[in-house]
Every structure is written in structure tokens, then in C-alpha cells.
Structure 1
Amino acid sequence: MKFVILFCLLAMSFAAPQEDAQIIRDDRVDNGDGSFSYSFAADNGLEMEVAGVPGSEGQSNMQGYYLLPLESGGFARVDFVADEAGFQPQSDLLPTPHPLPEHVHELLRIAEEQRAQGITFE
């Protein structure tokens, strides 16, 4: 998970215009029990906030967001959760699959009915 955060910060630093940015916020809290939080902001608009707690398998479960600079100016926000299920980002930037055609929904409904009736195919 630390690698994911480091990668995100590194990607943000390369994507941003290379100018001298001043840090306007850098708050870090380590509670000593594996839980933590940090927030970072620069005067050029880059920003990130993360909170984490110990996970069930020894990892850090985290949630937060970061801002990515856009070529057109401005920033896009990426919210994320990173836990036992992996890194799960949510953003308008991320592609989404095309909706399934109506006939596929009908086929899935029929297949579910057949499974419920004990019908199997080999």
C-alpha cells in the first residue's frame, strides 16, 4: 500500500508543471497503534489526504483522495479505498464499461431461473 501512495505522489509530481511550489499544508499523525492520517497541499493546487488503520492481514487499510492536474487546467479528484480487496479508485476520469444490451439482461435472468430449478448444462 505504501508503494501505491508513493507511486501516486510520484505521478502527481511528474504530471504537474515543473515550477517551484510552496507547501501550504503538511499534517501528519501517527497514533502509534498502526492508525495514521496525513494531508498535503501545495500552492499550485496539488492536494492529498489519507487516513489508515491496521488491516486484518497485516496491511494498512486506507481511504482518501488526491487531485491530479488536467492538461486543460484545473484538477480532477480521485477518491480511493485500499484494503483487503486492493486499490479501488473512483473518479470521473476512470473509464466505465458500456452498459449491457437488454437481451443480455434477459439471458442472465433466464440462466438464474434455470440454476434455481436445478437445471445444469454440460
Structure 2
Amino acid sequence: MFSRVAVFFVLSSTCVVLGQQSDDIIRNDFEGPNPDGSYKWALQTEGGIFHEQRGSQAPPGGAGEVVEGQYQYTAPDGQIIRLLYKADENGFHPVGDHLPTPPPIPPAIQRALDYLASLPPRAENDYNY
């Protein structure tokens, strides 16, 4: 399973690199898969596209694999897009300045949520439907 994930990311990154521009690849480092299931790789083009990733088995008590990485490229509007990510048993977690963020919770709604959280828990048979 782990090697299939690694192959998928390598192939998808290579397709992105080759599909966007015809830049020369100036960095192409691969290590693994190792006996413990870990791996790491990095690709970089002369045009500024960069993608690196590392993966390993989840720490004791966790399930599956943990994959961490980052990529960077220049968008057509000139903005540099940089994304850090982690994928683990809890899903995919991207971080980047270009990602949208939810608006803040309005104060009245936050007060209502705080009030509800302060109430003692009710027994399941206390609810009247």
C-alpha cells in the first residue's frame, strides 16, 4: 500500500511538472521505500516548481501511514503558491496563505454557543420529541 501511495504522488508530481512547463528538472532525489516503509523524494525544475514529500508508518498507537510534504510554484498571476501538507489517519491537512479561511463567528452566535456549552449535560431520556 505504502509503495502505491508513493508511486502515485511521484507520478502525479511528475505529470504536473511536465504538463505545466517544459523546464528542465534540476533536482530529482529519491530514497526508498526502505524496509521500515519510509521514503522521501524531491523534485525541482529550473522554472521554480518544487515538490518534496516524506512518508513513514504511523507512530505506535496510530494507524496507517503519515505523509508530509510541501510544494511551491508560481501561479499565472505571478503569486507564489506554497502549500505545506500532512496526511494521516485523521485526513489531509493543508496549510497555505492562498487557501480560503472561514469568516469569524458573529459575536451573538459565539455567546449562544458558549452558553450552550456551559449547560450541564442532559440524560438521553430528558429529551422530549
Asked if TM exceeds 0.5, the reply is yes
2:42 to 26, 39, 44: 39
Alpha-carbon offset, residue 69 of structure 1:
2.6
TM-score normalised over the length of structure 1:
0.79
Q: Report deviation, 1:121.
A: 5.2
Distance 2:99 2:84 in 1: 11
Task: Identify the residue that residue 53 of structure 1 maps to in structure 2.
Answer: 56
Does structure 2 retain, via aligned residues, the 8 Å contact 1:62–1:83?
A: yes
Residue of structure 1 in register with 2:29 after alignment = 27
AA aligned to 2:97 is D
Distance in 1, Cα, partners of 2:91 & 2:83: 15
Which deviates more from structure 2 when the two are superposed, residues 3-12 or residues 88-97? 3-12
Deviation of the 1:28 alpha carbon: 0.9
User: After the TM superposition, which parts of structure 1 deviate over 6 Å for at least 4 consecutive aligned residues?
Assistant: none
CA-based RMSD of the aligned residues comes to 2.5
Q: 1:101-112 alignment to 2 at 5 Å?
A: 101-112=106-117
- Alpha-carbon distance between aligned partners in 1 of 2:103 and 2:117, rounded to the nearest angstrom: 22
Q: CA deviation at 1:22?
A: 1.1
Map of 1:75-114 to 2, 5 A cutoff? 75-114=80-119
Unaligned runs of 5+ in 2: none
Give the fraction of aligned pairs with identical amino acids, expressed as a percent: 26
TM-score for the superposition, normalised by structure 2: 0.75
Change (3 A) 1:7 1:28: closer
Q: Which residue of 2 aligns with 1:5?
A: 9
Q: What is the deviation of 1:21?
A: 1.2
SS in 2 for 1:21: coil
Aligned pairs, number: 117
**Unmatched segments (≥5 aa) in structure 1:** none
* Structure number with higher relative contact order (C-alpha < 8 Å, ≥ 6 residues apart): 1
Corresponding residue SS for 1:103:
helix
